[in-house]
Every structure is written in C-alpha cells, then in structure tokens.
Amino acid sequence: MFVRTENFRTFIRLYPIVSFIIGAHILLFIAVNLSPYVLQLTVGFNYYIGVGEYWRLITPIFIHQSFPHLLFNTFSLYLFGPALERILGKFKFVIGYIGAGVIANVATFLLEGPGYSHIGASGAIFGLFGFFVYIIYARKELMDQQNSQLILTILVLSVVMTFVMPNINILGHLFGLVGGAALAPILLTGTKRRV
C-alpha cells in the first residue's frame, strides 16, 4: 500500500493528482527562491488574511522555502497520497487534501496572533493521516492490519516531532489531522475500494 514500485510514467498515470501537487511543490519552491515577491504574495500571514487576503488560507499548502521542508512534505505526499487517491478517487482526494490544509490554516488564523506567518503542506499532509486514522477505526475493511500499524506508528512519531522540532506550526499539524478525520466520513461515503 505504501511501498512505491511504479516507474515515473506509471506513477503519473495512476496518481495524477498527487503527481500534480508534487510538481506544484517543486515549481513553487523554485519560484519562491528566485523571487521574494512570490513568497510575499503567498505566505499565510495572519494580518493580511484578517484584512481580506483570503487566498492566503490556500496558498501556503503548496509553498516551501527550505529544501528540507520541501523534501519532507513532498516525500510524505509521495508515500501516503497515492493510497488515498486510489481509495477516494481524484475529485474527493483534491477536496480532502486541500480541505484539511484549509482547516489547518483557518485554525492557525483564528488561534495565533496577527503577526504569525506560516508556509508548507504539513497541515494537508497531517490531513492524510487524519483520513487514515478514521479508516483504521471506522472503515477497517479499507485497510489491512499491517498497514494500519505502520500508519499509526508514523503518526505517533510525526506528532512527537511536531512538538520537538523548531519553527513548526503546531496548530497547523494538529488541526490538519483533525480536519482530515472530520472530512473522512463525508468523503468516504459509498467507498468500497480496498488498497
């Protein structure tokens, strides 16, 4: 389920949404590092959101400034996104991924001060974990026990790292997780595919 054996072309054909988001991460990483204006326009800066720049609730989901940040989030999407894209289908995957990221960013806006700013796909990535947690406990038929244990182990490590690593949007991680778990029962309605 989480072991990737596809070649480049097959991966893009099987998981077009995950592939598109990975491509967006890379292109926007280059753009942000070539032009400070791109970062200024897309960062999730609470003050600007508060004065009506609501696109900043979405754009941080795709923006990374440092290479390690890009690598961690993009590799997490590469590992865990395809299974969920297969379970949900393309349209519902987009809604779930962006929806969890927006929930994380809205929580950050509401609970952090006006001077707070953030970037990164971590809220949306934690949203994927939220979906998997819901599947593990409420839709067991969609995932086998071995993969369930793997997800729970990685989730525990990721939550611990959230509180240990510096410069982490803790609220974004936690509310991304909650957002994914909250969207899961809605978007998984009628889903019977097991991966």
**Residues carrying an active site annotation:** 122, 173
Eight-class DSSP state of 165 = S
Taking alpha carbons only, the member of 73, 93, 102, 47 closest to residue 188 is 93
CA dihedral 22, 27, 32, 38 (to 10 degrees): -100
Determine phi and psi for 117, rounding to 5 degrees: -135, 155
Separation between Cα atoms, residue 54 and residue 44, nearest integer Å: 9
